[in-house]
Amino acid sequence: MDLVVDGWFHERGMLWPGQAMSLQVKKILDHHRSDFQDILVFESEKHGNVLVLDGVIQVTERDEHAYQEMIAHIPLYAHPNPKKVLVIGGGDGGVLREVARHPGVEEIVECEIDEGVINVAKKYFPSLSKGYDDPRVTVKIMDGAKFMDENQDSFDVIITDSSDPVGPASVLFETPFYNAMYKSLREGGIVCTQGECIWLHLDLIKPLVESIRGTYSTVEYAYTTIPTYPSGQIGFIIATKGRGECKKPERKPSEEVQEVLKYYTPELHEAAFVLPAFAKRSIFGEI
């Protein structure tokens, strides 16, 4: 299937049948296949540089902050004193950039299975990949589940920034992976994972939430709005080990940090957990 036709990139996917997202292409910067997936980078007319994996938009420079800030800062500000943070996926570096805004964090480990994503991010997305420049960051090119199996009871916060549950990311949406995260968490820890879209994927979200509620102390769902993701919305599954809910931040950004953030605020942190009636009813069986 041609991804670019008549100067427009068209995102079509099996997870959003009957709809598509199109962006006007100014210039194709890179298109190749890594050991794991098809990687396309193009300069768009209105959204800056765009990263596409297996035909699906992962990042645009125009709106990436709405996702990167929320998936990182919701769990980090919900934790009173995170010291060790694990990022699984997130090869573009955006989550690392946001984690690095927390001065109390002492160690940041990223497990990315596809080094090809890191390479194109460093070349074409410097505003995201600057996260790799932080001296607290260690990068592991390996399977995240294997790393967690080797590092149990180790992390205060685990953030899984994955693509959709097809191809190499499919295992990240299965119960065994959530069990591995639980074992790798310290007591009082928090996991936050990419949780798909309430308009399209309730059939994926509900059984996953139900399957892990018996393991984790709390399981919640929050979301952000982002124009270039399917239906303009994407959620986060947020689960804890030996502590309460994450709806209210334990800490707040300093004035200096808040001035550079484009999306996250403490008020929006709390609002992100307020779900529409249909989603709350479907995921948690309540209104």
Q: Which residues are catalytically annotated? A: 161
* φ/ψ bin of 243: left (φ > 0), alpha (ψ from -120 to 50), beta (otherwise): beta
- Provide the 10 A C-beta neighbour count for residue 74: 28
According to the model, what pLDDT value does residue 169 have?
A: 45
- Integer Cα distance of 187 and 286 in angstroms: 29
Instruction: Write the CA distances from 44 to 28, 58, 69, 101, 116, integer angstroms.
Output: 9, 14, 22, 29, 21
CA terminus-to-terminus distance, the chain: 42
Mind listing the pLDDT tens digit for each residue in 100-116? 999 999 999 999 999 99
Q: What is the pTM of this model?
A: 0.95
Tens digits of residue pLDDT in 232-274: 999 999 999 999 999 999 999 999 999 999 999 999 999 999 9
Longest pairwise C-alpha distance within the chain: 54
**What is the pLDDT, as a whole number, of residue 41?**
98
Query: How far is it, in rounded angstroms, from Cα 141 to Cα 113?
Result: 5
pLDDT category of residue 73 using cuts at 50, 70 and 90: very high
pLDDT higher than 90, residue 150: yes
According to the model, what pLDDT value does residue 80 have? 98
Measured between alpha carbons, how far is 69 from 265 in angstroms, rounded to an integer? 10
> What is the three-class DSSP state of 224?
strand
